[in-house]
Amino acid sequence: MPSHIHSTTKVHRIALIPGDGIGTEITTAAVRALRQLSATLSTFTLDFTQFPWSSATYLQEGHYMPSDGLAQLKKFDAIYFGAVGWPDVPDHISLWGLILPIRKTLGQYVNVRPVRMLDGVTSPLKGVQRAGDLDWVIVRENSEGEYSGQGGISHEDELHGVATEVSVFTRVGVERVVRFAFEVARGRPRRKLTMVTKSNAQRHGMVFWDKVFWEVAREFPDVETDKMLVDAMTVRMTLDPKSLDTIVATNLHADILSDLAAALAGSIGIAPSSNLNPERTAPSMFEPIHGSAPDIAGKGVANPVGAFWSAAEMVRWLGEDKAADVLMEAVENVTRAGVTTKDLGGKENTEGVTEAVHDIYTMASAISVPNQSLEGNSLPPAYILSTSPRLSKR
């Protein structure tokens, strides 16, 4: 690259945490795609720093990240995460040793999970044939609720052993994620938001969530709203997917619904997840929604599409809209051509799909991306511009 480009090109510092299992494989694929993307566009560069924080580290050293790990991460512009969890370590230790402290401490209180049919991908649902048939954004509360970590176990090995797992819903926590979801819904063509809870059976926290939702809804009269109980929501997602657009739900409910959503859109291997600090007081974190998949780890067959889509969301968050569009265009050209892994019915491995995306960049020496954002592909520009939910004055 000519030296004058260095002086004008933006540099984004990225902390890379590949983690465990296929997390390492898909992170390698994503970094390759991102390097190729910045080389092709020459408008920005990515400066990666890799952190070897994994279950192997935990087994050797007794911790996932060092005591100053979170402080180290704060120096970066964004974090790219693979997956954490391995059969040798109980899952609650791996999650609470790495990913949950990052989300909570770095103020990543919104988790955005777009789901849609990519070209060339087949849904298990009969009625879902083309992109618009399933095009959702799930906004998940990411800092409290059922994953607040409050509770305990007493008399564990006794007959009278008792355990509590306390869900915590604060006004601040509910209001900020609900307002963010309304902003996302308002930025999408259908302006439609569905709120999911279980406020028939859970009569305190969920009723409070509903109440705060309807209060915030008054500020968004231009957004159509409706409410679903989480059990009925699984039915609606399966039988009437076209009736949904933006969805907001608690930490646990949205976690479960987004796995279902990914499967309905073809595979858990394609879905991205953005853990956002909307005020940008600390880096946000981007990762595919899937886990470390020990059953296929080391075989080189993991679907890298969710990793690529997460990488696209990351560069969009960093202000590189064109790069995000180019990357998603390349990915969708590849799925359209049927170059897919086994989970999508194809014959390729991780390397083959990554290579195909790479080839598309190479072929597109004079890339011209349509000016409009690929609607529904990721979040609309309004999403980027409206990411500082205001807490109402009370």
Ligand X SMILES: NC(=O)c1ccc[n+]([C@@H]2O[C@H](COP(=O)([O-])OP(=O)(O)OC[C@H]3O[C@@H](n4cnc5c(N)ncnc54)[C@H](O)[C@@H]3O)[C@@H](O)[C@H]2O)c1
Residue nearest ligand X (C-beta atom): 85
| Least distance to ligand X, CB of residue 154, Å | 25
Burial class from Cβ neighbours inside 10 Å (0-12, 13-18, 19+) for residue 257 reads buried
| Least distance to ligand X, CB of residue 99, Å | 5
SS3 378: strand
* Cβ nearer to ligand X, comparing 110 with 206: 110
* Cβ nearer to ligand X, comparing 206 with 357: 357
Assigned token pair, 3: 């030296």
Q: To 10 degrees, the CA torsion angle through 42, 355, 269, 244?
A: 50
| Least distance to ligand X, CB of residue 307, Å | 7
| Least distance to ligand X, CB of residue 35, Å | 20
* Cβ nearer to ligand X, comparing 156 with 295: 295
* Cβ nearer to ligand X, comparing 64 with 182: 64
Using an 8 Å Cβ cutoff, are 274 and 309 in contact? no
* Cβ nearer to ligand X, comparing 167 with 292: 292
Other C-beta atoms closer than 10 Å to the C-beta of 42 total: 12
Task: Tell me the Cα Rg of the chain.
Answer: 21
* Cβ nearer to ligand X, comparing 99 with 184: 99
Distance between CA atoms of 295 and 316, rounded to whole angstroms? 32
Distance between CA atoms of 213 and 343, rounded to whole angstroms? 37
What does DSSP assign to residue 386? T
Distance between CA atoms of 171 and 208, rounded to whole angstroms? 8
* Cβ nearer to ligand X, comparing 105 with 386: 105
Angstrom distances, CA of residue 189 to CA of 16, 185, 221, 233, 353: 34, 8, 15, 22, 31
* Cβ nearer to ligand X, comparing 23 with 205: 23
Contacts with ligand X by CB under 6 A lie at 22, 83-85, 91, 94-95, 99, 268-269, 287, 290-296, 302-303, 306, 341, 343
Using an 8 Å Cβ cutoff, are 330 and 367 in contact? no
| Least distance to ligand X, CB of residue 82, Å | 7
| Least distance to ligand X, CB of residue 240, Å | 25
Phi and psi angles of residue 28, each rounded to the nearest 5 degrees, phi first: -60, -45
| Least distance to ligand X, CB of residue 18, Å | 11
| Least distance to ligand X, CB of residue 252, Å | 13
| Least distance to ligand X, CB of residue 382, Å | 27
* Cβ nearer to ligand X, comparing 94 with 251: 94
Distance between CA atoms of 361 and 331, rounded to whole angstroms? 10
Long-range contacts of 210-213, Cβ-Cβ distance < 8 Å, separation of 24 or more: 212/171, 212/174, 212/175, 212/178, 213/174, 213/178, 213/248
